[in-house]
Amino acid sequence: MKKKVLSILLTAAIALSAVGCGGTGNTNTESSNESAESTETTGDQSDAETGSEGADHAEADSQDAATEESAASDGTKILKTAASFAYPSLDVHKEYYGWYTSIYGVSEALFKMNENMEAAPCLAKDATVDGSVWTITLNDGVAFSNGTPLTAEMVVKNLQRVAEVNERFAYLADFEMSAVDDKTIIIDTKEVYPTLRNELASPELGMVDLDATTDFDNDPICTGPFVISSFQPEGDVEVAKNENYWGGDVKLDGAVFYYMQEDDPKLLAMQSGEIDCYNSVSSAALAVYEQEPENYNVVSIPGARLQFYILNENTLDDAVRQAINLTVDKDKIAEYLSGTVSPAVGPFSTSAEYGKVTVPAVDTDKAKEVLEADGYTLGSDGIYEKDGQKLSINIKYYAARALDTLALLIQEQLKAVGIDSVLGVEEDPDSTYIANSDFDLALYCMIADKSGDPLYFIESTLKDGSYYDCGGFDDAHCEELIDQLKFETDTTKRAELANEIVQIAIDDNAFGYVGLFNNTTVLRPGVSGFAEDIPFDFYGIDAETDIK
């Protein structure tokens, strides 16, 4: 009897819970849609919007509460945000850790890149050059968070340390550096080095009080508007206002950077009011935020990270390369990638002086004409062929930075004009198709503009023998221009040279510059100054960041 009663009770309990679940059926469906979409890096925006409808007006309360919480009742302003990367160390000079100490508002370099992609004064007020000798003058009153003034001698020591501990900056060891007085540094680069000012804006060259810092990994003493108050290696980071900040008032009292890699939790944390802002917003999350402009302020600007493809000149003839470039529709790709990418013209932002190049408009009829003029005939299956061989190209890509989607879209667009293609995915492009050149069209994504100057990208991709010049592009005039660019000190002339060089590559159909990733930041109303208008990845909070 007891057993029967027990089994009836148990069954009733399970049945009740099932009814309970059934009662929330609608909501469940909505959340499922949202979840599925949120996991996709790309997708149909309208679908995402449908899913987002369920994602909720219920959050409005929590958002109001969150803004109040951030500007807490005791008047302290603590910004809460999410960081997609976390590192085991805060040593400004090593690896890319300086990017994050810069984002945390802890470290500052001599110069700082601004929204116009210029190296603006920061710790240094000026840098002048005479031949190979640079004279850098420090700003007045610059001091570390412990109150110790930043001296020219300390700058030299810092630069020497970076050269020692960071392989990417080992070249600094070749320069002769000396402190003339407390505020003046002389750097002799031995040969003309026009980009030094921009290089000095690299966050890895942030200034650290080398004499007073005892724990570089956990508590570096720097000059930024914030100081580390809690650091969890490869985890969350908390910063507090630097009371001795040399640059004046700091508006925030502190900030918390939660390490959150996944897009879904970031979206949910934003909806629940647990964070106030974050950047690198995914397309699915963007669709949700754009539904509620009263609750979320979304700022999106073209960034410095470029999606492009390399056309192999050794395997594709001129006509096929031209036809490909006339066919790939960047605007449609950008539209499909729903707000995460802006169509590119060249490798650099068109707002930069060195981003003024032109590309032929998409013209599929002309693409077909070019192929037919080259002896290709359209087969019964809609694919061009020549000498009995179907026109089929080998597209290589890797599944990151939306390149997988890009590969599919390019494949579809090419097929529409009669070019067949086979997709090949690699986990590591650098040691496979980039190293071996076993592709017809290779997709890649990299930072094209790391310091407001075109030389780095041009030398990496267009100079003969460079690692990413793996498609056989070789032009003697281009080489001459690159050599000139390397030593040209006049900014206007540098831009002209860069434009000419890139135009040669475009006219040769050696590359296709598809899209520049947008730097997309979402902020709660009242939050400002989270580097949302700067196209570089290595800035975050500063003295002007505020919660109103």
Residue with Cβ nearer other proteins (426 or 475): 426
Q: Is 260 in the site for other proteins (CB under 8 A)?
A: yes
Name the DSSP letter for residue 257. Answer: E
d(CA 482, CA 500): 10
Which of 10, 72, 180, 399 contacts other proteins by CB under 8 A? 10
Q: Please report the DSSP string for 5-69 in residue order.
A: HHHHHHHHHHHHHHHHHHHTHHHHHHHHHHHHHHT-SS--HHHHHHHHHTS-STHHHHHHHHHHH
Q: Is 99 in the site for other proteins (CB under 8 A)?
A: yes
Q: Is 291 in the site for other proteins (CB under 8 A)?
A: no
Which of 158, 271, 283, 499 contacts other proteins by CB under 8 A? 271
d(CA 149, CA 318): 60
Residue with Cβ nearer other proteins (321 or 463): 463
Part in contact with other proteins (CB under 8 A); list of ranges 367-375, 426-434, 484-492, 507-515: 426-434
Residue with Cβ nearer other proteins (151 or 460): 460
Q: Is 503 strand, coil or helix?
A: helix
Q: Is 125 strand, coil or helix?
A: strand
d(CA 246, CA 253): 16
Q: Is 427 in the site for other proteins (CB under 8 A)?
A: yes
Which of 66, 269, 285, 510 contacts other proteins by CB under 8 A? 269
∠ CA 139-140-146 to the nearest 5 degrees? Answer: 100
Q: Is 404 in the site for other proteins (CB under 8 A)?
A: no
- Shortest approach of other proteins to residue 473 CB, angstroms? 16
Residue with Cβ nearer other proteins (370 or 485): 485
Other beta carbons within 10 Å of 454 = 25
Part in contact with other proteins (CB under 8 A); list of ranges 13-21, 120-128, 349-357, 523-531: 13-21
Q: Is 15 in the site for other proteins (CB under 8 A)?
A: yes
Could you identify the residue written with the tokens 């004409």?
A: 369
Altogether, the residues listed in the chain come to a count of 548
Interhelix angle 491-507/476-487, nearest 10 degrees: 160
- The answer to whether 419 and 411 are in contact (CB under 8 A) is no
Dihedral pair phi/psi, residue 305, rounded to 5°: -95, 125
Binding-site size, other proteins (CB under 8 A) = 65
Which of 40, 47, 56, 507 contacts other proteins by CB under 8 A? 56
Q: Is 191 in the site for other proteins (CB under 8 A)?
A: no
Residue with Cβ nearer other proteins (192 or 446): 446
Q: Is 472 in the site for other proteins (CB under 8 A)?
A: no
- Shortest approach of other proteins to residue 376 CB, angstroms? 34
Residue with Cβ nearer other proteins (445 or 543): 445
Part in contact with other proteins (CB under 8 A); list of ranges 178-186, 259-267, 370-378, 503-511: 259-267
- Shortest approach of other proteins to residue 45 CB, angstroms? 20
Q: Judging by beta carbons within 10 Å of its beta carbon (0-12, 13-18, 19+), is residue 265 exposed, middle or buried?
A: middle
Which of 79, 185, 250, 445 contacts other proteins by CB under 8 A? 445
d(CA 26, CA 45): 21
Q: Pull the structure tokens for residue 158.
A: 């810092």
- Shortest approach of other proteins to residue 537 CB, angstroms? 7
Q: Is 243 in the site for other proteins (CB under 8 A)?
A: no
Phi-psi region of 211 (alpha: psi -120 to 50; beta: other; left: phi over 0): alpha
Part in contact with other proteins (CB under 8 A); list of ranges 105-113, 379-387, 444-452, 502-510: 444-452
Which of 95, 292, 374, 533 contacts other proteins by CB under 8 A? 95
Q: Is 69 in the site for other proteins (CB under 8 A)?
A: no
Host H or E run for residue 305: strand 297-311
- Shortest approach of other proteins to residue 217 CB, angstroms? 9
Name the DSSP letter for residue 365. Answer: H
d(CA 303, CA 534): 8
